[in-house]
A and B are shown apart, each in its own frame.
Chain A
Amino acid sequence: MKAKNKLGLILFPAFDWAISPTHPEREERLLYTQDQLLEEGIEDIEGIHFFNPLIATKKDIDRVHFCYPSTEKLLTESHLIAAGGVMRAFDAVFGKETDKSFALVRPPGHHAQRVVYGDRGFCIINIEAVGLAYARQKYGDIRVAVVDTDCHHGDGTEDIYWNDPDTLYISFHQDGRTLYPGTGSIEELGGPSAYGYNVNIPLPPNTGDEGFQYVLENTVLPILEDYKPDIIINSAGQDNHYTDPLTNMNFSAQGYANLNSRLNPDIAVLEGGYSIQGALPYVNTGIILAMAGLDYSGVVEPDYHLGKWKQSGRVTEQVKRISEEVLNAWQHKEIIGRKLFESKSSVKRNRQIYYDTAGILETQVQEFRPCPDCPGVDSIISKNDRGASLFGITIPRKACPACQKKGYDLFEQAKGLNVKKRFLQDLKRDEFFSE
Chain B
Amino acid sequence: MIIGIDMGGTNIDGVAVHEGQIVRQIKRPVDRSDYFHSIWNCIKNLLWGVKKEDIERIQLSTTVSTNAIVENRISKVGVILQRGPGLKWQFDNLDENVADVSGSVDHRGIPISRENAAEISKIREDFLRNRVDTVAVVGKFSTRNPDFEKRAAEYLRDDFQEITMGHTISGKLNFPRRVQTSYLNAAVHSTFKTFAENIEEALKREGISAPVYILKADGGTINLEGAKAKPVETILSGPAASLMGMTALLNKDETDRCLLDIGGTTTDLFFLADGVPVFEPSGIEIGGHKTFVRAIYSTSVGLGGDSYVRIEKGKLKIGPERKDHAIAFGGKYLTPTDALVYLGDMKAEYAHESAFALENMAKKINAYPEEFAEMIINKFCKSIRETIENTLEKINASPVYTIKELLADRTIKPQSVGVIGGPAKALSKYLERELKMPVEYPENHEIANAIGAALARPTVEINLLADTDREILSVPETGVYEKIDKYYDLKKAKERALNEVKFAGETMGISSDILETEIVEASSFNMVKGYRADKNIRVKAQIKPGLAAYKKGER
Q: Which residues of A contact B (CB under 8 A)?
A: 1, 11-17, 21-22, 24, 26-28, 31-32, 34-36, 38-44, 50-53, 55, 77-78, 81, 277, 281, 285, 289, 294-295, 298-300, 302
Determine the distance from Cα of A41 to Cα of B180 in the docked complex, in whole angstroms: 12
B282–A43 touching, CB < 8 Å:
yes
Residue of A nearest to B405 (CB): A16
B108–A1 touching, CB < 8 Å:
no
Q: How far is the CB of B470 from chain A (nearest CB, A)?
A: 12
Of the candidates B104, B112, B406, which one forms a contact with A81 in the assembled complex, judged by CB atoms under 8 Å apart?
B406
Q: Which residues of B contact A (CB under 8 A)?
A: 85-90, 104, 106-108, 110, 112, 140-141, 172-177, 282, 290, 397, 399-404, 406-407, 523, 525-528, 533, 536
A44–B107 touching, CB < 8 Å:
no
Q: How far is the CB of B171 from chain A (nearest CB, A)?
A: 12
Q: How far is the CB of B266 from chain A (nearest CB, A)?
A: 25
- Given the contacts A44-B290, A50-B399, A302-B106, A38 and B173 also touching, CB distance less than 8 Å: yes
- Given the contacts A11-B399, A28-B536, A55 and B86 also touching, CB distance less than 8 Å: no
A41–B528 touching, CB < 8 Å:
no
> Can you list 19 residue pairs at the A/B interface with Cβ under 8 Å?
A14-B401, A14-B402, A15-B525, A21-B526, A21-B533, A22-B526, A26-B526, A28-B536, A38-B172, A39-B175, A43-B174, A50-B399, A52-B400, A55-B407, A77-B403, A81-B403, A81-B406, A277-B107, A289-B87
A15–B526 touching, CB < 8 Å:
no
Instruction: Name the B residues within 8 Å of A52 (CB-CB).
Output: 397, 399-400, 406
A17–B525 touching, CB < 8 Å:
no
Instruction: Name the A residues within 8 Å of B85 (CB-CB).
Output: 298-300, 302
Instruction: Name the B residues within 8 Å of A51 (CB-CB).
Output: 397, 399
Determine the distance from Cα of A21 to Cα of B177 in the docked complex, in whole angstroms: 34
A35–B86 touching, CB < 8 Å:
no
Instruction: Name the A residues within 8 Å of B106 (CB-CB).
Output: 302
Residue of B nearest to A11 (CB): B399
Q: How far is the CB of A2 from chain B (nearest CB, A)?
A: 11
Determine the distance from Cα of A34 to Cα of B174 in the docked complex, in whole angstroms: 11
Determine the distance from Cα of A11 to Cα of B406 in the docked complex, in whole angstroms: 12
- Given the contacts A26-B526, A28-B536, A36 and B107 also touching, CB distance less than 8 Å: yes
A15–B401 touching, CB < 8 Å:
yes
Q: How far is the CB of A88 from chain B (nearest CB, A)?
A: 11
Which of B104, B107, B140, B533 has the most chain A CB atoms inside 10 A of its CB? B107
A41–B177 touching, CB < 8 Å:
yes
B174–A44 touching, CB < 8 Å:
yes
Of the candidates B86, B141, B525, which one forms a contact with A28 in the assembled complex, judged by CB atoms under 8 Å apart?
B525
Residue of A nearest to B290 (CB): A44
Determine the distance from Cα of A285 to Cα of B85 in the docked complex, in whole angstroms: 11
Determine the distance from Cα of A285 to Cα of B290 in the docked complex, in whole angstroms: 21
Determine the distance from Cα of A336 to Cα of B81 in the docked complex, in whole angstroms: 61
B107–A281 touching, CB < 8 Å:
yes
Instruction: Name the B residues within 8 Å of A28 (CB-CB).
Output: 525-528, 536
Which 8 A/B pairs are nearest by Cβ-Cβ distance?
A41-B176, A38-B173, A28-B525, A39-B173, A302-B112, A300-B85, A16-B402, A35-B107
Q: How far is the CB of B128 from chain A (nearest CB, A)?
A: 30
Of the candidates B87, B174, B400, B403, which one forms a contact with A78 in the assembled complex, judged by CB atoms under 8 Å apart?
B403
Residue of B nearest to A29 (CB): B525
Residue of A nearest to B523 (CB): A15
Residue of A nearest to B533 (CB): A22
Instruction: Name the B residues within 8 Å of A77 (CB-CB).
Output: 403, 407
Which of A15, A50, A81 has the most chain B CB atoms inside 10 A of its CB? A15
Instruction: Name the B residues within 8 Å of A294 (CB-CB).
Output: 87
Given contact pairs A52-B397, A77-B407, enumerate 8 new A-B contacts (beta carbons under 8 Å): A11-B399, A14-B403, A15-B401, A22-B528, A39-B141, A41-B175, A277-B107, A299-B87
Of the candidates A44, A277, A299, which one forms a contact with B86 in the assembled complex, judged by CB atoms under 8 Å apart?
A299
Instruction: Name the B residues within 8 Å of A27 (CB-CB).
Output: 523, 525-526
Determine the distance from Cα of A51 to Cα of B393 in the docked complex, in whole angstroms: 12
Determine the distance from Cα of A50 to Cα of B140 in the docked complex, in whole angstroms: 23
Residue of A nearest to B399 (CB): A50
Residue of B nearest to A12 (CB): B401
A34–B175 touching, CB < 8 Å:
no
Determine the distance from Cα of A17 to Cα of B403 in the docked complex, in whole angstroms: 8
Q: How far is the CB of A46 from chain B (nearest CB, A)?
A: 11
B536–A31 touching, CB < 8 Å:
yes
Residue of A nearest to B396 (CB): A52
Q: How far is the CB of B86 from chain A (nearest CB, A)?
A: 5
Determine the distance from Cα of A300 to Cα of B533 in the docked complex, in whole angstroms: 28
Determine the distance from Cα of A13 to Cα of B406 in the docked complex, in whole angstroms: 12
- Given the contacts A1-B87, A285-B86, A39 and B107 also touching, CB distance less than 8 Å: yes
Instruction: Name the B residues within 8 Å of A281 (CB-CB).
Output: 107
Residue of A nearest to B281 (CB): A43
Determine the distance from Cα of A11 to Cα of B400 in the docked complex, in whole angstroms: 9
A44–B176 touching, CB < 8 Å:
yes
Instruction: Name the B residues within 8 Å of A32 (CB-CB).
Output: 107-108
Instruction: Name the A residues within 8 Å of B404 (CB-CB).
Output: 16
Of the candidates A12, A39, A277, which one forms a contact with B174 in the assembled complex, judged by CB atoms under 8 Å apart?
A39
Instruction: Name the B residues within 8 Å of A40 (CB-CB).
Output: 86-87, 175
B88–A298 touching, CB < 8 Å:
yes
Determine the distance from Cα of A49 to Cα of B402 in the docked complex, in whole angstroms: 19
B174–A41 touching, CB < 8 Å:
yes
